Structure 1
């Protein structure tokens, strides 16, 4: 049998072409030097800028957005003896420019900052098992602060979900699909360098996704469409009326639609003498979900009674799923964010956002994540092994391992290898020796913070 390192370059390139995630490509290139030199890294589009969407009240010639990428990872220690659900940690890493990263709430866009005082300053991820569960992209306004009312005090974030599609193996061409403020679909293609509003809108659109290499969208009636790169739209599923907000999720190779049902109720934590009828004290509370599977031939959604061994996650900027076996239980569950499941205690300082809820599709129960201690450990606090991953400030460890340093105040991350700071919080590359830089790419392939 031939050595792995001696596989033909053509075969290695063929394998690499089937690795859609940049994360897995980097892990692939880190196996050995021959694999690394046989496959070139894909260029990042994170430095690209995009014009404002039409009807923003800004000149179409004004460049108004830049794109950041979020990676969702399931991390566990490879050194623990018998893994359990308490050994797992679900994290989201934002990279809004190469080398500048933040730790985020896995189901929202909010940064986890400041980190707790006892949080290890430096991690060594080379001894972790890491699996990517999903990717998300977020548009940020550049040199423009939109009105508070328009974006619900969002500051510099464009709040609608954005999906990204690479249009070539070289990574130079790409397309974005999102939802316009009018509820219409809007597309950006790098070749056109402008946004195109798609004037197909029987109803307002709720969600967009990439499924099997194509853009899909669903409106609030459940009508689903395939969106072509020429801005043409074709029906894939007729409406499925009932709920208040629709989500698209890919799970085990199938396209699912999750229908969220809301109820308008008074805001929690108000005194009895408060005027509950006043509109500012009313809000939407999630009360149940229904899940449907796409039947492409019949162009309809088929209701599912249970998810089997799957678990679904509905976040602000993406949806994803995983096997319940990966989480050691919690099958048939949907994790989501809700304004009414407020966090209490020290976690309130960590997750400064809507809290997480859990819905059991089989029995219809719904409750805050805090009511499920076995599940809440997946999010926060980190498992006990994370302290063992800390290499502290030991010079000997820093010279031999990949280390990720956390700034507690800002939540920024820095990457170290071979005693040199390779990626600083400002994003500048401080290692100028090309041999050191090449080594950093190899070692980063074994961790989760890479580009």
Structure 2
């Protein structure tokens, strides 16, 4: 019998170049110590990944999180005591942002279990408005790769408080930093593309976020025919999400649930930075979009991951009993842009905790 552990390192490394899904690489690294050495060296070219769907934690065992791989259609169990009892937000860089019942905030890699402390929620400025639960104080959290001299590359941005304000920090900061003045709020989404952080307001305006100046700059022409039939502010059953396309364009996904709770319609727009208006797209080409309440990702040629192109994989805005005394549901499914049809996806455990619902997580071993 051949001794696979005796293969030269270069050959083992060559084999890894044919692996696509990150779970295949994990299985590969478990064969023997010499194969695992390739994983530990982190010297592989990881292709863009399709997100895992991480389910709510279950009331019976809060340590265990289940992750659905769309590539293999398998559910993997992950022991994540670091996320037990926490609200979680996914990101395109593989990190989770977690907010625990003790109101401590961390970055957590759900595959490697590496955890990084972030400033406590108490360092954020508070404003008037009803907050039913302190874990609800942060509406969204994002992780961007934003290098800066003599500082960590990772930058964490949040939308927080009843006014929808922006704040940020980096690992090692002692407190969160607020962006803009007290009158500048109402933000609903943000993303980082071509070294710029762009934020979207609840009135449909786009802003460039100046981290150094701690300010936001309006880049949308108020007289442009943007959004066409959209009215602002949005209704509760509507959601807007920003996403960078595989070709580097800025897209916006409009999600409408005005009908029956299982009825959903998506419209995708492309932003023209020269004319400063949105152009409605007729399709996504060979791309698929993964939309959640926080993380939105575009993947090209998803069929190699056994996903459907020209489709939108979504986690609904409605939460599964997210806060006490608020009965809500999480709707997950696949929307075909071509014909408007909608199909189901696995929704996970039947007894999720009130503060938790499914999120998209980009797997990474880095």
State the TM-score, normalized to the length of structure 1: 0.45
Offset of residue 258 of structure 1:
1.1
2:332 aligns with one of 356, 361, 366:
356
Offset of residue 305 of structure 1:
1.2
Structure exhibiting the larger radius of gyration computed from Cα positions: 1
1:351-390 alignment runs, 5 A limit: 353-365=329-341, 375-376=343-344, 378-379=345-346
1:61-100 alignment runs, 5 A limit: 74=69, 76-77=71-72, 88-89=73-74, 95=80, 97=82
Equivalent residue, structure 2, for 1:223: 205
Equivalent residue, structure 1, for 2:251: 256
Q: Distance in 2 between matches of 1:92 and 1:301?
A: 41
2:186 aligns with one of 189, 194, 204:
204
Offset of residue 195 of structure 1:
2.1
Q: Do 1:248 and 1:255's aligned partners in 2 also have CA atoms closer than 8 Å?
A: yes
Q: Distance in 1 between matches of 2:103 and 2:131?
A: 13
1:185 aligns with one of 162, 166, 173:
166
Q: Distance in 2 between matches of 1:305 and 1:94?
A: 42
Offset of residue 354 of structure 1:
1.9
Q: Do 1:141 and 1:156's aligned partners in 2 also have CA atoms closer than 8 Å?
A: yes
After superposition, the Cα gap between the structure-2 partners of 1:302 and 1:141, relative to the gap in structure 1 and judged at 3 Å, is same
Offset of residue 215 of structure 1:
2.5
Gap runs ≥5 in structure 1 = 8-21, 41-69, 78-87, 111-131, 269-283, 343-351, 366-371, 383-407, 412-447
1:8-157 alignment runs, 5 A limit: 32=35, 35=38, 74=69, 76-77=71-72, 88-89=73-74, 95=80, 97=82, 135=94, 137-143=96-102, 150-151=130-131, 156=135
Deviation by residue 1:49-100 (Cα, 9 ceiling, x = unmatched):
xxxxxxxxxxxxxxxxxxxxx99763545xxxxxxxxxx2477969563xx6
2:9 aligns with one of 5, 9, 12:
5
Q: Distance in 2 between matches of 1:204 and 1:217?
A: 10
Q: Distance in 2 between matches of 1:306 and 1:162?
A: 29
Equivalent residue, structure 1, for 2:241: 247
After superposition, the Cα gap between the structure-2 partners of 1:25 and 1:362, relative to the gap in structure 1 and judged at 3 Å, is closer
Q: Do 1:285 and 1:339's aligned partners in 2 also have CA atoms closer than 8 Å?
A: no
Q: Distance in 2 between matches of 1:381 and 1:410?
A: 8
Describe the SS at the equivalent of 1:297.
coil
Q: Distance in 1 between matches of 2:217 and 2:139?
A: 22
Q: Distance in 2 between matches of 1:28 and 1:215?
A: 37
RMSD: 5.5
**Higher RCO structure (Cα 8 Å, ≥6 apart):** 1
Q: Distance in 2 between matches of 1:315 and 1:185?
A: 19
1:318-329 alignment runs, 5 A limit: 318-322=295-299, 323-325=301-303, 326-329=305-308
After superposition, the Cα gap between the structure-2 partners of 1:196 and 1:289, relative to the gap in structure 1 and judged at 3 Å, is same
1:282-297 alignment runs, 5 A limit: 288-297=265-274
Q: Distance in 2 between matches of 1:292 and 1:4?
A: 50
Q: Do 1:73 and 1:134's aligned partners in 2 also have CA atoms closer than 8 Å?
A: no
Deviation by residue 1:14-56 (Cα, 9 ceiling, x = unmatched):
xxxxxxxx9999899988576567569xxxxxxxxxxxxxxxx
Equivalent residue, structure 2, for 1:233: 216
After superposition, the Cα gap between the structure-2 partners of 1:133 and 1:140, relative to the gap in structure 1 and judged at 3 Å, is closer
Q: Distance in 2 between matches of 1:410 and 1:334?
A: 21
1:387-426 alignment runs, 5 A limit: none
After superposition, the Cα gap between the structure-2 partners of 1:33 and 1:262, relative to the gap in structure 1 and judged at 3 Å, is closer
